[in-house]
Structure 1
């Protein structure tokens, strides 16, 4: 089973954004050392507690401090941008870091309505225009337009020796069908979805339309996972991200609380019900327990690769979680 990392660059209650971003770089370095296939970093706007609003800047920094791990966006929020500019950015990265760049594409706002308005005058219109934008982006990445297209003589320079690998990210039937239609690899965000992931992925596999000879569909499933030496320790560490998610749902929580702070938060019956639902969508436990559940999910979803989101208050706990999972998966 391939394993990868999705980093949201969380800011803990005792951290600055600078420190959080440097921890992201360390995570990519250690992920490379431990055998993870790829490291993606997410794009968020004006969301308290998340440090990365510009993935391409971080990818330059991370690429310069790693050697072999694939790196990419998880995701570029395409409705905000012109496909040509996105292609230029990721072609530039693919030129600097050959055969290592992924370009994950998403349609979510990634922040508040105010942030969406500040970034784009026509966000909702561009969401509806997503299929056309994806098609245009793919043409620029492949450096190939139809002979009658207005951009047939336009290149997204520099043209790298190996183009960035395009992925479509989503949580719905619509995104799965679009990925299949465009012949793109598909990443399903199980960690942020209540939809039937196995059914959605099956629709992708059933309708996939290869764009070149020998091309096969490719699936990543992204899940929340927290691992420690024991189940009890993992549950203790996970409390920080669980309470933080609860606070964010209430419009609170500017940073990931410590375990002590999380324990002190007053919870009512409704909060406990919400926490119960959250934990159903998380993998928490010892290395053997986590790997067992990852294998079960990979089999159920027919995933080629599992991508892990791990948020803890302590950077050391986060690194340890990824390390323990890798050691159990690759060196049992």
Structure 2
């Protein structure tokens, strides 16, 4: 089956790695991803995180678009609750004028942060928007140079008359936003690696209710998975162990840095931890194993959910092993 491929990047920090080194490493990785004919590369928005350096995805998108030529760059996502619709629209109209037909905006309704960060980003003021979908409508009107609702219609989002549009996607992790994505004529991007299940009927409902728009003519489903691919199952388990330890720690309310797998190879998971990890694999939150195994899992997911695009989040500690995992994925679907 045909499948477009992309990257979901949180810029996971390795060990004691400094942010500057992580950004340099990421820039080189983005160039490699483009050479492997991946379609897009998205950056997340996570505030006050000791474990990830993807804080300002719009700036990362701008920088990476300048060092690439065909790869689509974007945000997965822009956490719209924190920002003015005018500012969001002007940022992305500027980006798409600089990199025509290569800019995406993932419209996220979650905070991407804890309660303290929400207050700090809002300068201590209560959120002015009760309905995030109304806010998305304003952003879309601004992107189209149309008059926006309420007092927002008293101004326009510059630059005006940009020849190409950014590609807006509705982000979701529970399935609730799928019908809204269909109603607005947006692509629907589901983050399965967050560890939340959704009934396949949600994706079918999105396709059935989809209304064509200036942004998308047809319904398009994207799903993000955590992916670790290696030549053997044993190597995949070895490379994934620090990532799985991070997931267990996060479940317990702690955030730990990504470790060298060699440093944690002797750690033994408790029976409860083993059950948790096995559940993640059984529910396809993580796709881990040989190329043959992972390809089979992806094809099953594609048939079940009707996936048009897959975004892979593969925070493997060793940069070359990480790149190898993405190369395996590219070969599966004849990108290289």
Q: Same fold (TM over 0.5)?
A: yes
1:229 matched to 2:231: yes
* Pairing partner for 1:211 from 193, 209, 213: 213
* 1:302 corresponds to: 306
Q: Secondary structure at the match of 1:45?
A: coil
* 2:94 corresponds to: 92
Q: Secondary structure at the match of 2:177?
A: helix
Equivalence map 1:58-97=2 (5 Å): 58-97=60-99
Deviations 1:268-300 (A, max 9, x none): 332222222233321111222222221221121
Q: Is the 8 A contact 2:185 2:215 kept in 1?
A: no
* 1:26 corresponds to: 28
* 2:168 corresponds to: 166
* Pairing partner for 1:290 from 294, 319, 331: 294
Give me the TM-score of the superposition, normalised by structure 1. 0.93
Aligned equivalents of 1:286 and 1:167: distance in 2? Answer: 31
Unaligned runs of 5+ in 1: none
Give me the TM-score of the superposition, normalised by structure 2. 0.92
Q: Is the 8 A contact 1:47 1:112 kept in 2?
A: no
Distance 1:43 1:98, change over 3 A: same
* 1:242 corresponds to: 244
Cα offset, 1:12, TM superposition: 0.6
* 1:157 corresponds to: 158
Deviates further, 249-258 or 219-228: 249-258
Deviations 1:42-63 (A, max 9, x none): 0101122100110111111111
Cα offset, 1:130, TM superposition: 0.5
1:53 matched to 2:55: yes
Deviates further, 117-126 or 68-77: 117-126
Q: Secondary structure at the match of 2:176?
A: helix
Q: Secondary structure at the match of 2:171?
A: strand
Q: Is the 8 A contact 1:173 1:203 kept in 2?
A: no
* 2:332 corresponds to: 328
Aligned equivalents of 1:69 and 1:166: distance in 2? Answer: 16
Cα offset, 1:35, TM superposition: 0.9
* 2:142 corresponds to: 140
Q: Is the 8 A contact 1:176 1:200 kept in 2?
A: yes
Deviations 1:5-30 (A, max 9, x none): 11110001141111122222222211
Aligned equivalents of 1:190 and 1:141: distance in 2? Answer: 28
Q: Is the 8 A contact 2:186 2:215 kept in 1?
A: no
Q: Secondary structure at the match of 1:330?
A: coil
Deviations 1:193-213 (A, max 9, x none): 422252221221122222359
Aligned equivalents of 1:188 and 1:197: distance in 2? Answer: 12
Distance 1:113 1:32, change over 3 A: same
Unaligned runs of 5+ in 2: none
